[in-house]
Amino acid sequence: MAAIELTGLTKVYPGGVKALDSLDLVIPDGEFFALLGPSGCGKTTLLRTIAGLETATDGSIVIGDRDVTGVQPGARDVAMVFQDYALFPHMDVTDNIAYPLRIKKVGKAARADKAREVGERLGLAHLMDRRPGQLSGGQQQRVALARVMATQAQAFLFDEPLSNLDARLRLEARTFLKKLQRELGVTTVFVTHDQAEALAMADRMAVMENGLIRQIGTPAEVFQRPANTFVAGFIGSTPMNLLDGVVRGERLEVAGCKLPVPASAEGRLSDGEKIVYGVRPEYMTYSVEPVEGAFGGKVSIVENLGAAHLVTLEVGGVIVQVVVPEGSEPALGAEGFAVPRGDRALIYRDG
């Protein structure tokens, strides 16, 4: 097991696409690190470059105490799970799990023992003689995990390993994978485009855009204090309210409403400055009575979220959304107020 340290890591593909733009990242030994970002932002490239399947254009990769930048993939001591699992269709589960050991010239009996041990741990004991084609998607995914575990690598690299599972199985696999990583304590880089998955699983996470890391932090830090409007818009199961505003003396004018300056921005703003006011729908309350420093408007949509409702207010020509607990949701067309939590509202200048 080992830490991973990337310094100035850059990948430019032939043709000129800069998929990684001088990334600096340290992932401590044993950490579950999630790499989140939209399609095309460079996640797969980053994993493949760490694994040695792509050559870095510039920068270095250190795993443990070894600089592996120029080292062949097989000698880097990392194990990767691909999005499509990359199982061998003509081999049974035992041979699929044991394959990396065969490459390492481990003897047949020892390979079978290890495959059985790992297979049992992952609930595959009764399936060891089957081929991938005779397994469900969830079972195939476990075989891919078992194969990685059998290798005892210094680090695990997962490229969207849950994205081919249906929603229910995906949630189960999340918990299972997280628990397994805890038990094994192997440094893990987990790539996903699903913000909920990253928030749920990661010890720490990075949010990427166009080959750049836009924020690194714990899930709580990234959720509560997105560093810029890109991250703010990307994280959260309901979109964050991001509203243009202007500083007016001691207050803010946003969507025609007068709001207090949030705690996080006190003393940082100058009169007349243009800002973007950010607050999550979960960090506002709904009031039927007029409230000072709130968004007042007309209810135009009420969406059922299960145990709560997402209420959309039309406020001075823009929309403001607020999460309202079950039972207190307003009627369509009602006049109401969305009251931001001063300790959770954020001010951006990059909008």
Cβ proximity to Mg ion: between 78 and 279 the closer is 78
Cβ proximity to ligand ADP: between 83 and 287 the closer is 83
Cβ proximity to ligand ADP: between 128 and 207 the closer is 207
Cβ proximity to Mg ion: between 81 and 345 the closer is 81
Cβ proximity to Mg ion: between 81 and 299 the closer is 81
From the CB of 39, what's the least distance to ligand ADP, in Å?
A: 4
H helices within the chain, ranges in order?
43-51, 93-103, 108-121, 137-150, 167-184, 195-201, 219-224, 229-234
DSSP string, 35-48: EE--TTSSHHHHHH
Alpha carbons 250 and 172: distance in angstroms, whole number:
49
- The site partner of 305 among Mg ion, ligand ADP, none (C-beta below 5 to 8 Å per kind) is none
Alpha carbons 50 and 349: distance in angstroms, whole number:
34
192 touches Mg ion by CB under 5 A: no
Segment near Mg ion (CB under 5 A), from 44-52, 178-186, 288-296, 320-328? Answer: 44-52
The strand pair at 78-81 and 155-159 is best described as parallel
Which letter does DSSP use for residue 160 in this model?
S
Alpha carbons 121 and 97: distance in angstroms, whole number:
12
Cβ proximity to Mg ion: between 44 and 187 the closer is 44
- Nearest 5°: CA angle at 227, between 25 and 155? 25
- The footprint of ligand ADP (CB under 6 A) covers 13, 15, 17, 19, 37, 39-45
- The site partner of 336 among Mg ion, ligand ADP, none (C-beta below 5 to 8 Å per kind) is none
Contact 97, 119 (CB under 8 A): yes
Comparing CA positions, the residue from 272, 313, 275 lying closest to residue 291 is 313
- Binding mask 62-101 toward Mg ion (x if CB under 5 A, else -) reads ----------------------------------------
From the CB of 212, what's the least distance to ligand ADP, in Å?
A: 12
Place of tokens 């992932």: 27
Count residues contacting Mg ion (CB under 5 A)? 2
- The site partner of 41 among ligand ADP, Mg ion, none (C-beta below 5 to 8 Å per kind) is ligand ADP
From the CB of 10, what's the least distance to ligand ADP, in Å?
A: 12
Q: What are phi and psi of 128, to 5 degrees?
A: -60, -25
209-238 residues near Mg ion, rule: CB under 5 A = none
Alpha carbons 100 and 106: distance in angstroms, whole number:
9
Alpha carbons 92 and 96: distance in angstroms, whole number:
6
From the CB of 190, what's the least distance to Mg ion, in Å?
A: 12
Which letter does DSSP use for residue 347 in this model?
E
Alpha carbons 75 and 78: distance in angstroms, whole number:
8
Give every strand in the sheet of 308-315, ordered side by side.
Answer: 284-287, 335-340, 295-304, 308-315, 318-325
Cβ proximity to Mg ion: between 158 and 283 the closer is 158
Contact 202, 219 (CB under 8 A): yes
The radius of gyration of the chain from alpha carbons, rounded to an integer in Å, stands at 24
Cβ proximity to ligand ADP: between 43 and 309 the closer is 43
- Nearest residue to the partner Mg ion, using Cβ: 44
44 touches Mg ion by CB under 5 A: yes
From the CB of 175, what's the least distance to ligand ADP, in Å?
A: 24
From the CB of 224, what's the least distance to Mg ion, in Å?
A: 27
Tokens matching residue 131: 């081929």
- Binding mask 308-337 toward Mg ion (x if CB under 5 A, else -) reads ------------------------------
Q: Which residues bind Mg ion (CB under 5 A)?
A: 43-44
